[in-house]
Amino acid sequence: MRIMTAGFDIPDISAVISREISKGESDNLEFKVSKPSKDDKYVKTAIAFANGSGGRILFGVDDRGDVSGIPDDEVFKTRDSITQALNDSIEPQISFDVCIVNIEGKNVIVAEFVPGKNTPYHLKGRDIDAGTYVRINAITVPADSGTIRSLMANGENMYFDSLEQNSMEVTEKESERLCHRIFGMNAEINSLINAGILINVPHGYKATRAYALLTENPFPYAAVHCIRFHGNDAIFVDESRDLTDDLFDQIDGATDFIANRIFRYFEMDDRQLHRIDRYEIPLIAFREAVVNAVLHRDYFLDSFSIFVRVFDDRVEIESPGTPYKLSLEQTLSGYSSIRNPILMSVFKRRGYVEGYGTGIRKMIRACEENGSFEPRFEIDHQHFKVTFPRGKKVPDEILEEDENAVMELIKSDGGITQTAISERTGIELSKVKRITLALQQKKLIMRSGSRRSGCWLLNPEISYGPRR
């Protein structure tokens, strides 16, 4: 444990902490206006940070982010008291730093915690089941049994997919089918052993949980539930599909479910010889999100499944478990930590995965190149969620000022006439006619019905502003 007391003279640290304060409390940041009289109130949060992706507790900052500070005559005594409580109250010993930082001319005590390697951490004197805490959406809560199992596995460097599945019979037919599916028709069963999918034992083979997930999948919770909701709220269900077969079929089935329920259009290649399918959300992006959800989910959390939700304005893909031993910020920056190495290796061989730590950047780049809105990534109640806003952006540069004025009126009133557009914008009628023709050629609008009784329709494949 290292204690830092030189915070007054490190302006860079002050700038970092000030920026964090401005963003408010989060999964990795907690404010305390002063040191609580009961140490448990912040020790539990320290445990949660050590069990998760790390974090900071700032003493001298209130819940609104206002810096009140710790008085000069109390700051060192308070720092020492916090340090002592953290050392005396947590098992196993966690790694942390304590420093004093000057923010707005006031003393703020910063206790910083790194992700622990010996999870689960818990309150000393209490059983693991009763004294283990985790962080969910800026709140510290007791860990449930599934989360504790996951933390224990992490602390022992144990991977779900490498554990033995003792209750499963290994048949020659199923093993050959899986072997050929992964390694090709000329491969032999030793390929499964070398990959860690099967374990060679006297008089036969023993299945791992990777083998189980890739064949008959005996785990009811290892499923993908796909739902198409009516509208933008999770209330009325139009249709649903539960995918419970092997992981190959789950990935392919979930990808198809999304592809068949979002807008699709066609383009010809440069030589006008072949038709190319295009989607409002690029196929490569939502397929990558599905692959990540299946391969990176925490299979120790046996009360949760993966959900794919299609709404009118967005598509959500949510999987159990936070990024493995990484913060959300590290994940978004391209860091990679593999939770299920056997499964990852299998799907990399089969071409579902290109490289480690590239998935999120691939999704963002694909959406940008497609003219789609950038996906959003978040941790929500111990789940990792990717949200794709539906529709495609209309680049500002493709609309002239007068075209934009006409578009705004059509968006607000599809039944508006060209004469009315001219009167309300001051644009000559002849030019209004040229503009509406140009907008149709750009495939931004279309005309339905006759000149007198018809109306303007917006292209359903285009979103005319971010759908939040």
pLDDT in tens, 23-77: 999 888 999 999 999 999 999 999 999 999 899 999 999 999 999 999 999 999 9
- Looking at the predicted structure, is the pLDDT value of residue 257 above 90? yes
pLDDT tens per residue, range 7-22: 334 447 888 899 999 9
| Minimum mean pLDDT range among 195-204, 231-240, 259-268 | 259-268
Exposure on the CB side of residue 345, measured as CA atoms within 13 A: 14
- Looking at the predicted structure, is the pLDDT value of residue 425 above 60? yes
Q: What is the pLDDT of residue 10?
A: 42
51's tokens = 């069990």
Assign 273 a pLDDT band (cuts: 50, 70, 90).
Answer: low
CATH class of 224-389: alpha beta
- Looking at the predicted structure, is the pLDDT value of residue 119 above 70? yes
Question: DSSP of 265-297, one letter per residue?
Answer: EEEE-TTS-SEEEEESS-HHHHHHHHHHHHHHS
CATH assignment, 396-458: 1.10.10.10
**Residue 163 CB contacts under 8 Å (≥ 6 apart), including other chains:** 208, 209
Exposure on the CB side of residue 417, measured as CA atoms within 13 A: 8
d(CA 22, CA 148): 33
Question: Alpha helix (H) ranges present in 90-246?
Answer: 128-131, 145-155, 172-183, 190-194, 209-214
CATH assignment, 2-155: 3.30.950.30
Q: What is the pLDDT of residue 398?
A: 64
**Residue 332 CB contacts under 8 Å (≥ 6 apart), including other chains:** 360, 377
Are 199 and 165 spatial neighbours (Cβ–Cβ below 8 Å)?
A: no
Q: What is the pLDDT of residue 282?
A: 93
Q: Identify which has the larger pLDDT, 220 or 415.
A: 220
Parse the chain into domains and list their residue ranges: 2-155, 160-214, 224-389, 396-458
Assign 393 a pLDDT band (cuts: 50, 70, 90).
Answer: low
d(CA 391, CA 212): 38
Q: What is the pLDDT of residue 355?
A: 79
The one-letter amino acid code at 240 reads: S
d(CA 200, CA 285): 39
- Looking at the predicted structure, is the pLDDT value of residue 305 above 80? yes
pTM of the model: 0.75
- Please report the beta strands in 392-459, taking only residues with DSSP state E, as ranges in sequence order: 445-448, 455-458
Q: Please give the mean pLDDT across all residues of the chain.
A: 89
Burial (0-12, 13-18, 19+ Cβ within 10 Å), 415:
exposed
Among residues 44, 45, 30, the alpha carbon closest in space to that of 123 is found at: 44
pLDDT tens per residue, range 122-158: 999 999 999 999 998 789 999 999 999 999 998 988 9
- Looking at the predicted structure, is the pLDDT value of residue 465 above 70? no
d(CA 189, CA 54): 42
The predicted model gives 317-329 an average pLDDT of: 88
176's tokens = 């050959």
